[in-house]
Structure 1
């Protein structure tokens, strides 16, 4: 039996020997309890032994050799304070078959192991409390037996030693296991911290800027009302350096031939908005002006995020542009998952005015060929329950894809992406507990493949939209530039 304890642990030993010892003790306890007197109880513990003086409740031997049973599942509410059945002090668990405090646990073990015999100096019915439990050892011991504490549950000296060795062995094994676990290096953690900061700086969870977009129109309102507001780029993006979105700070120097398109003023004037609204019927695509501003705004935030990815600015200007143009819509779809709600399958960005349904996007010119797989993608991504760290790493990996059209230095882009991929895999192993971490990296990479298909469908539908002058003129210059045909 002792060998079994060494293999299965201390609690396993108690659970196996408890029924046997309980049966062995049943007959002797029933005989002892018939008389109900302390003298009958003492006779079963060898009355010829001398009395034992009071010993402190917390000696090291007691702590090492004490036996504690696991609580029966569901028997006790863990939030309710547990009371010692002997003295009323705070209990620490089941000890020798009863709920007791550490003091009464040690007292019972010492008394049983040394076959102690106590005599009550009073009437044999002292009420034991936390404060007076040391005054009458006889009544305290009687109370221990009355609540069900059993000497059969006390470990022998050999079992105590085995328990100590087992505890030490387990600690050593846990320490070894901990040392072998993968850990994020300081450099990897620094990259994660940078990406988190970049995301926090470029994503506003309050969506306060949405009020500056041209207003959403979900009904057959007049065209003048739909397009009355100027583009978001008139005021709120001045602080974002809107004239330098693809400028020298982000990309270095460009060929002069590209500059007029790349650095065009992105502000739609009030006069232009008014004149267009006079000639265009917005009843068909009433949400297009608002969503065009939303996408333009999101592109700028993606650019801001990309600038802060470690290593991104080391790339040639042309490669930075190629990466951003190709990945912008994919990163926007990734970012929008933060506002996507599974309950009603909408993107909720603050108030009801900015709660976007599938019908809203169809009123901006997109068909279900894009929207059905997009919603499926959002649901799947949401169910992965990604940590914010995993989310920002996935966005950075998406941007730094070496197989994007127009990328020249593919080896450098690939090395940057490989570094981020390694950090993501290490993070999942270290910080994402199972079962959520099972195949999580593979599922995240599959999401990037899904985004490629969504990107292709979006480009196809965007081209159909942009070929219609009455609709394309409602798009912002930045949207026209990023989703144009320079890179196809």
Structure 2
């Protein structure tokens, strides 16, 4: 199990998949050099638009990468670089804060501002609303759970048993998605968004919230995942473990659900309102942590960094969906609609 940290260094010389220069590691999902890594990051963060002078068919190498930016950016995307892997401004600040705070000699560590030890009435109301929503809608009813396709005997390796196992997991996923839809309606400010933006936020965040919900069910001592029907999955899910490295209080877990919704969703039309929602929830979470856990100054940066891990899991999920289509697994209509998978 590899620990989190910088992109891994390569023991043998490897070539950048964009330009052929010596690669320094995996950046934004692709083996690449420092130059192409920086070029891709700058191009995406600045929303750069380039124009090829040579007809848009440049063969990319170490020479042409300096001559044609349009073809270089296109090659970055063709080989698999993902915009979703870039850190947001909030996540960059959190990462910088975490590094500075771990250095006792850092001026930033000593200059970290202190927040009021008391939450505002508005923030207290948000906390109460989210906790109430979590209690009431994030747990399917017993009747719904009983409708889930039963898990076949583990010794049964027939085609029918394989299909039943697939149906079992898709049934559980449908229950989770339905709960997320109901939970989203309880998020303060969500229903004031246009219907189109509500759908965008729901579609883009559903798998990340499902992962968070599954992570809540992980039993570290038993190394098991417990689902709504009480059946454990004995397989360790390392990525899900990493999302919750520490035991977080209920509100912090719930707020992570909300932050997944409102952070960095580029396809919404009302960016201003979504950004205001993000600001309100971040300030409330910060005040809550300061009030209940004043000694843990690094908790908020750690939480924000976990959003990056969730985005990476989302990217992997998209790849797995394509694999399922290739293997002719039938994905239920609700999940196909949420994840934009053609039937």
Quickly name the TM-score band, shorter chain normalised: 0.5 to 0.7
Cα offsets for 1:449-488 (capped at 9, x unmatched): 100000000111012103443x11xx321111111248xx
Q: Report 1:109-188 matches (<5 A).
A: 181-188=116-123
Q: CA deviation at 1:283?
A: 4.5
- Find the counterpart in structure 2 of residue 429 from structure 1: 290
Residues 151 and 165 of structure 2 are in contact (CA less than 8 Å); yes or no, is this contact kept in structure 1? yes
Q: Is contact 2:115-2:287 (8 Å) kept?
A: no
Q: Deviations over 1:201-249 (max 9, x none)?
A: 11239967432201122535487xxxxxxxxxxxxxxxxxxxxxxxxxx
Secondary structure of residue in 2 paired with 1:347: strand
Contact 2:218 2:225 in 1 (8 A): yes
Does the 8 Å contact 2:129/2:186 carry over to 1?
yes
In structure 2, which of residues 272, 276, 279 is the aligned counterpart of residue 415 of structure 1?
276
**Superposed displacement of residue 288, structure 1:** 0.7
Instruction: Tell whether 2:335 aligns with 1:479.
Output: yes
Whether the 8 Å contact between 1:220 and 1:283 is mirrored in structure 2 is no
In structure 2, C-alpha distance between the alignment counterparts of 1:205 and 1:440, rounded to whole Å: 30
Query: C-alpha separation between the residues in 2 aligned to 1:282 and 1:443?
Result: 44
- How far off its partner does 1:328 sit? 0.2
Distance change >3 Å, CA 217–CA 404, structure 1 → 2: farther
Taking only aligned residues, the RMSD between alpha carbons, in angstroms, comes to 2.5
* 1:163-242 correspondence to structure 2 within 5 Å: 181-204=116-139, 209-219=144-154, 221=156
Does the 8 Å CA contact 1:339/1:349 hold for their aligned counterparts?
Answer: yes
| 2:224/2:233 contact within 8 Å kept | yes
Supply the distance in 2 between the matched residues of 1:324 and 1:350 (Cα, whole angstroms): 22
In structure 2, the residue matched to 1:388 is: 250
The answer on 1:305 being equivalent to 2:183 is: yes
CA distance in 1, matches of 2:197, 2:156: 43
Q: Aligned pair 1:356/2:212, yes or no?
A: no
* Unpaired stretches in structure 1, ≥5 consecutive residues: 1-178, 224-280, 359-371
Give 3-state SS (helix, strand or coil) of 1:204's partner.
coil
CA shift at 1:383, angstroms? 3.2
Tell me by how many angstroms 1:335 deviates: 1.3
**Partner Cα separation in structure 2 for residue 288 and residue 180 of structure 1:** 49
Distance change in 2, residues 1:405/1:462 (3 Å): farther
**1:324-403 alignment to 2 at 5 Å?**
324-349=202-227, 354-358=231-235, 375-401=237-263, 403=264
Structure of greater relative contact order (alpha carbons < 8 Å, 6+ residues apart): 2
The gaps in structure 2 that reach 5 residues or longer are 1-113
SS in 1 for 2:216: coil
**Cα contact 2:139–2:179 (8 A) shared by 1:** no
What's the secondary structure of 1:415's corresponding residue? helix
SS in 2 for 1:200: helix
Q: Is the partner of 1:425 in helix, strand or coil?
A: helix
**Aligned pairs for 1:256-335 within 5 A:** 281-284=159-162, 286-335=164-213
The one of 444, 447, 450 aligned to 2:306: 447
Q: Which has the larger radius of gyration?
A: 1
Change (3 A) 1:345 1:207: farther
Q: Report the Cα offset of residue 417 of structure 1.
A: 0.8
| Shift of residue 397, structure 1, vs aligned partner | 1.0
Deviation of the 1:311 alpha carbon:
0.4
1:282 positional shift: 3.2
Structure 1 contact 377–447 (Cα < 8 Å) conserved: no
1:460 matched to which residue of 2? 319
4+ residue runs over 4 A deviation? 205-208, 283-286
Looking at structure 2, the residues matched to 457 and 379 of structure 1 have their Cα atoms a distance apart, in angstroms, of 16
The question of whether the paired residues in 2 share the 8 Å contact of 1:384 and 1:440 is answered with: no
After superposition, the Cα gap between the structure-2 partners of 1:207 and 1:414, relative to the gap in structure 1 and judged at 3 Å, is farther
CA gap of 1:351–1:289, structure 2 versus 1, over 3 A, is closer
Report the TM-score when normalising by structure 2.
Answer: 0.61
Q: How does 1:22-37 map to 2 (within 5 A)?
A: none
Deviation at 1:284, TM superposition (A): 4.3
**Deviation of the 1:351 alpha carbon:** 6.3
1:409–1:351 Cα change, 3 Å? closer
